[in-house]
Each structure stands twice: as C-alpha cells, then as structure tokens.
Amino acid sequence: MSLRGRDLVSIRDLSREEITAVLDAARRMIPLAEGRKSGAQLRGRIVAMAFFEPSTRTRLSFESAVQRLGGSCITIADAGATSIRKGESLYDTIRMLTSYADAIVLRHPKEGAARLAARASDRPVINAGDGAGQHPTQTLLDLATIRERFGTLSGLRVVLFGDLKFGRTVHSLAYALALFGSELILSGPEGLRLPAEHRAELAQQGAKVREEPDAAAAIREADVLYVTRIQKERFPDEAEYRRVAGTYRIDAKSLEGAKKEMIVMHPLPRVGEIAPEVDATPHAAYFRQSFLAVPVRMALLAAILAGGRGGD
C-alpha cells in the first residue's frame, strides 16, 4: 500500500487504510508545518500549482506544504494570463506542465478536469477542486481536524449543516465519514438538501444517515457541526439567494444547547454563516481546520512524491 506516484482525483481513490496512513503522517508533520522543524522530503522537487480558478487558502497551503518540505513551486495563479486564453486545451497545458514539474496540483472550474489531467499527465496529479466535483484534500483535512479532537473517526455524530446540495466538500466528507462508520445528520434550508443521487450512494454504502430539519435539535446531539457556505454563484437570482442565506446562521446563542466537546467546522471562507462571536467559544475549530491543511498536504505530497511516511 503505497501512494508513491499515484494520482489523487477523488477521495474514493483512497482506501480507509490509506486515509488513516495519510492522517497519521500528517500528525507527524505538524512540527514541520509550524516551522519548528525543517523537512527535506521534497528537496530538489518541483510541484506545479495549476490554478484556473481563484483560490487563496488551497493554493497558499499547498505552496507552504511544498516549501516546508524543501521543494519548490511553479504557479499558474491567474488563468487569464496563460495561453488558455489563446484557446489552449487543458490537455495540452497539462502535457506541457509534466515536462516542467514532478507533480501537478490542479484547481479548475470544470467537473472532471482532474480526471482528464491525470490521463494527460505521466506525473502525479492532485485534485485541488474541480468545479462542483471533487476536492479530496479538503476531505482529508476535515477528517484530520475531527480525528485530532476526538482521537477517532468512528461512532461520532456529525451534523452536516447548510448547503448540502451544491457544497462539494460535504459530498466527499459524507462518503468518507460513512466509510469510517460515523453517523450523519443532515440539516439546513429546505431547498438545499442533499441530492437524491448522493443519498442513494450513501445508502448503498450502508451509511447511517438521517435528516433533522430542526437545527437546534441537530446541534444538541452533535459531536461535530460542519457548516458550509451557501454558494451565491449557484443561485439563479440574488433575491432567492438572500432569502435562503438569511435562514441560517450559527451564533453563540444557537450553540447554547450543544455538548461541551462539540466542535464547529467550516471549510472557509465564511460569509455570515458563523457569527464572529463563535470564534471565542471552545467550539470553534475552523481556524485549526485551515491550519491542518498544511500538514495534511505535506503528508500527501511526501507520500506521493517521496514514498515517505512523512515526519519519520
């Protein structure tokens, strides 16, 4: 079981054991991610950051991960400045990048772009988000956050709250949590429920899933409250967006009935779903979550490029 030389397009590309191995390695990467130790697993390696869609935290955390391990990056951060604008296909762009870099991290607005890139490239491709499709490293860092706090990914009650229809992070996360045997409770606005296709898949997987339309009731029994951003760009018009967005917001009051050890997570950026006052409560885990992006991505890059277990 080695990730060396492998692509990571979807979280489904990894077995439960492989996910666990990456999370273990990520834990050992934390002192390096904090800059307290230095790593060298990627020395002499170049990783291409091919970002065809705006992204701050994903790109910067990948760049930080590469550099913390002694590697270097070449970056496309603005697709408008590349020959894509001249009509070059993604396929050709990826072929070109394979001769400049040892691995490619891709963010692209079209679903399936990472699968295409993986076929075009003889170097490993890591999907950093393709449209409304997959974002497997986000799922890994979400799992790392939960596991760091609870020491396990099994037997927890995880409330997925908010935009379950368009939020790509929740689809992969739901799959992975079900893989580890946690219970999923779905809550949020009526029009943004989990699509039937995903529900059917979870059912097929044997997942424990149920709906709890009453947010307060869901929060009371949660070990993890995973809040997602309502994606404005997915709505047909502004008025509809505002109507739905206004219906849910987590503040200190809404957490009053929560278990003491319950954590609130969010893939960030938030736009009003979580009030800033929640930051000061012991429940807030979203900034830790965004920090863990670095050690998780370090562990993954080390495993794929150096075959290392990372941090050893």
Partner 1 sequence: MRELKITPIRNGTVIDHITNGLAFEVLRILGPRQLGRDSTISVAVHVRSGKLGWKDIVKVENIELTPRTVNAIALIAPTATISIIHDFRVREKRTVDLPAKIVGVLRCPNANCISNQPEPLESEFDVVARRPTVLACAFCERRVDEFLTHLA
Comparison of 195 and 246: residue with beta carbon closer to partner 1:
195
Query: Under 8 Å CB-to-CB from 8, ≥6 apart: which residues?
Result: 14, 124, 125, 126, 127, 136, 137, 300, 304
Among 136, 188, 185, smallest CA distance to 156 is for 185
Give the integer Cα–Cα distance in Å for 40 and 68: 8
The pairing of strands 208-211 and 183-187 is parallel
Comparison of 91 and 100: residue with beta carbon closer to partner 1:
91
Shortest Å distance, C-beta 200 to partner 1: 9
Shortest Å distance, C-beta 117 to partner 1: 9
Comparison of 115 and 157: residue with beta carbon closer to partner 1:
115
Task: Indicate the helix (H) or strand (E) that contains 224.
Answer: strand 224-227
Shortest Å distance, C-beta 32 to partner 1: 34
Task: Indicate the helix (H) or strand (E) that contains 245.
Answer: helix 238-245
Comparison of 106 and 207: residue with beta carbon closer to partner 1:
106
Looking at the annotation, which residues are catalytic? Answer: 57-58, 86, 107, 135
Give the integer Cα–Cα distance in Å for 184 and 205: 13
Comparison of 11 and 33: residue with beta carbon closer to partner 1:
11
Q: Which residue has the tokens 């979203």?
A: 286
Structure tokens at 110: 């079209």
Shortest Å distance, C-beta 197 to partner 1: 6
Give the integer Cα–Cα distance in Å for 225 and 157: 9
Binding site for partner 1 (CB under 8 A): 10, 89-92, 108-113, 115-116, 119, 130-134, 197
Structure tokens at 131: 């449209």
Task: Indicate the helix (H) or strand (E) that contains 149.
Answer: helix 136-150
Residue count of the chain, please give it. 312
Shortest Å distance, C-beta 194 to partner 1: 15
